[in-house]
């Protein structure tokens, strides 16, 4: 169980910045079991760690997603601001890296910088010591263009969210996606 996450943990051992498993795998790590099949695996890294990230990616073939187009490109600290998705390939390994923003002691939602989260509360780890992005943040990202897998993730993790997590997600959705149907569950 969690083999892809353990593989990423092994890969990231030499990375000097902070990283966290993101996406659907983060939801499953929070629950403690694999709830669905996953097409890929994502790691969140802070944009300010682009220099150590570029050094870490030297032996990987890298692509960036630029305006919905995947372009092969070396990653370095001069990566344009609007690019937040990097695909790294090496032998049989594939990893999607999602660049996150932070300011002072807060994570900032790149789609709406008024939505923030305290960095000191972004230290969740699985029982295997795998760091993962807080599920309420993952769900906020999934609220845009919600697909079946995102619905499944919401339904699976909802019982595992504490009141503070539910309240943060509710407030973030009210700001960013005020008509999202997940608010029905979060308001009661």
Q: List the CATH number of the domain containing 78.
A: 3.30.460.40
Q: Could you give the C-alpha distances from 69 to 24, 30, 83, 110, in angstroms and in order?
A: 23, 32, 11, 19
The structure's pTM equals 0.95
DSSP class of 126: -
DSSP H or E stretch at residue 90: strand 85-90
Number of domains in the chain: 1
Would you write out the chain's pLDDT as a tens digit for each of its 188 residues?
A: 899 999 999 999 999 999 999 999 999 999 999 999 999 999 999 999 999 999 999 999 999 999 899 999 989 888 999 999 999 999 888 999 999 999 999 999 999 999 999 999 999 999 999 999 999 999 999 999 999 999 999 999 999 999 999 999 999 999 999 999 999 999 87
Query: The domain containing residue 145 runs over which residues?
Result: 3-186
Structure tokens at 162: 């504490």
């Amino acid at each position: 169980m969690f083999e892809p996450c353990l593989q990423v943990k092994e890969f990231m051992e030499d990375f000097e910045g902070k990283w966290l498993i993101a996406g659907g795998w983060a939801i499953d790590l929070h629950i403690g079991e694999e709830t669905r099949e996953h097409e890929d695996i994502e790691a969140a890294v802070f944009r300010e760690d682009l220099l150590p990230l570029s050094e870490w990616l030297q032996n990987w073939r890298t692509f960036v997603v630029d305006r919905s187009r995947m372009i092969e490109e070396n990653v370095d600290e001069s990566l344009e601001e609007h690019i937040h998705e990097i695909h790294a390939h090496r032998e049989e390994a594939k990893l999607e890296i999602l660049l996150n923003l932070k300011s002072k002691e807060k994570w900032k939602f790149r789609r709406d910088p008024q939505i923030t989260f305290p960095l000191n509360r972004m230290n969740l780890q699985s029982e295997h010591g795998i760091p993962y992005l807080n599920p309420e943040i993952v769900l906020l990202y999934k609220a845009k263009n919600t697909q079946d897998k995102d619905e499944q993730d919401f339904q699976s993790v909802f019982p595992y969210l504490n009141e503070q997590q539910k309240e943060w997600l509710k407030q973030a959705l009210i700001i960013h996606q005020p008509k999202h149907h997940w608010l029905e569950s979060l308001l009661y």
